[in-house]
Chains A and B, each alone.
Chain A
Amino acid sequence: MKILEIKDLCKSFGKTDVLKGVSFSMEQGEVLSILGSSGSGKTTLLRCINFLEKADKGEILVEGETIFSGENSDKISASEIRKAQLNFGMVFQSFNLFPQYSALENVTLAPLLHAKKSPDYKQNKKKIKEEIIAEGKEILARVGLLDKLNNYPCELSGGQQQRVSIARALALKPKILFFDEPTSALDPELTGEILKVIKDLAKQNITMVIVTHEIGFAKNVSDKIIFMDNGVIAEEGTPQEVIDNPKNERTKAFLNLVTQKE
């Protein structure tokens, strides 16, 4: 069964049509990279899937179950949206860490709040909290930040902050992890550490969607590549197909432009 299916997603802001019918699907454990020039709708696509924007039309299915449908999108309640959002994790270009919390607190905040809803929370409060904190430490260790648990975001480098934000998303064990240009806000010498973390996650069979301009990285880590242009998918396929032998003129032009810069 497909872990994610996107069907004919459309979104406009006022008169600008930003997504003009985007469809794709993913298997469990797959890594999908989305390429495309600035303004082609990549961020909007991720935001619609993560319920940060409401798509005008189309459907989103997770493991065969419809979690969003443009037909009755007005009827979906806030709590249904929150439940659907928990299928996904999101890593933002600008990190969006909570500045008043330490690295560990950033990671454990949401799991601790969600734990309050579990029926045995009152009896096992202490044990549940300890487990979540231990797990938070373990996740931060996985992204190489065991020595920064108690540091605040302002005390961390950009690369470290982005690793905390990846850990924060992982802590809720999402079925699919989305990255929106995770290295674009970083100095070139710091992008490597983030790409390494993402590569490690790919090895652990975590399903991921990565919007990136790092062509070499995308080719290396992805099972599938989508090239977006002007609100539609212009080309999709394996890295060999899309990056090495692009058929679409826009894809070719884009790849030429990006590889020239590199």
Chain B
Amino acid sequence: MSIFITVTLSLLEGLLTTFKIFGLTLLMALPLGLIISFGSMSRFAVVKWPIKTLIWIIRGTPLMLQLIVFGFGPGLIGINGMDTFVAVMIAFVLNYACYFSEIFRGGIESIPKGQYEAGAVLGLTKTQVFFKIILKQVIKRIVPPMSNEFLTLVKDTSLANTIMIYEITWNAKRFMNSEHILWPLFYSGVFYLAFCGVLTLIFGYIEKKLDYYKG
């Protein structure tokens, strides 16, 4: 029984780090993703193509590899003392911002031109049109793909253990080495499941909230 409690406490401790990666990634990747999406739709080739290239690289390589690049890359080129957690956050934020940006772009481009024009003939500024007319319609359209990304992020946080971040999977694996037991790893799955379950409920609620209108 006592080993069960030890494992549970250790996993809960890891879960805090998991939460931290999850929350901080969202906090930064959502606004950054919106900025990147504007960049990828820019009329100016000097903005558009570098951004498109960045998105291509980030979405075209494994997140695990990106974690290793940001985790060990600085040391290789002589920059020492960068905090591993900072490296993890850079990799996660950049990766998710690029995925979010493509979802935002799809959502923004799916709004009919007539919505912008109706706003323009009412004398509204571009900013007012975007925030008062377009954004809410975009949000409604991107909730389903976003909920997918959020769930993927929950599970992707486990990749941080590859560069020695003591999140939940790391803590579970630790018992494999020290106690020669495998079940804490399976047990960790329960925590991911519960986390994803809560998110699914929240997204279901948001979808329902936005269901009051069509179009």
A122 interfacial contact with B, CB 8 Å: no
| Contact across chains for B136 and A78 when beta carbons are under 8 A apart | no
| Contact across chains for A113 and B128 when beta carbons are under 8 A apart | yes
| Contact across chains for A98 and B212 when beta carbons are under 8 A apart | no
Size category of the B interface is: 20 to 34
B109 interfacial contact with A, CB 8 Å: no
CB-based nearest A residue for B115? A96
Q: B120 is contacted by which of A51, A98, A172 (Cβ under 8 Å)?
A: A51
A222 interfacial contact with B, CB 8 Å: no
Choose, from A63-71, A83-91, A197-205, the stretch at the interface: A83-91
CB-based nearest B residue for A113? B128
Apart from A86-B123, A154-B213, A154-B215, what 13 extra A-B contacts exist at CB < 8 Å?
Answer: A52-B117, A82-B123, A88-B121, A92-B117, A96-B115, A98-B133, A99-B214, A99-B215, A100-B136, A109-B133, A110-B122, A114-B123, A172-B122
Dominant SS at the B interface? helix
| Contact across chains for B140 and A100 when beta carbons are under 8 A apart | yes
Q: CA–CA, A113 to B133, complex, Å?
A: 12
Binding site for A on B (CB under 8 A): 112, 114-115, 117-118, 120-126, 128, 132-133, 136-137, 140, 212-215
| Contact across chains for A85 and B214 when beta carbons are under 8 A apart | no
Q: Chain B residues near A172 (CB, 8 Å)?
A: 122-123
Q: Chain B residues near A85 (CB, 8 Å)?
A: 120-123
CB-based nearest B residue for A52? B117
A182 interfacial contact with B, CB 8 Å: no
Q: CA–CA, A168 to B126, complex, Å?
A: 19
A31 to chain B, nearest CB (A): 20
A23 interfacial contact with B, CB 8 Å: no
Q: CA–CA, A72 to B20, complex, Å?
A: 55
| Contact across chains for A152 and B213 when beta carbons are under 8 A apart | yes
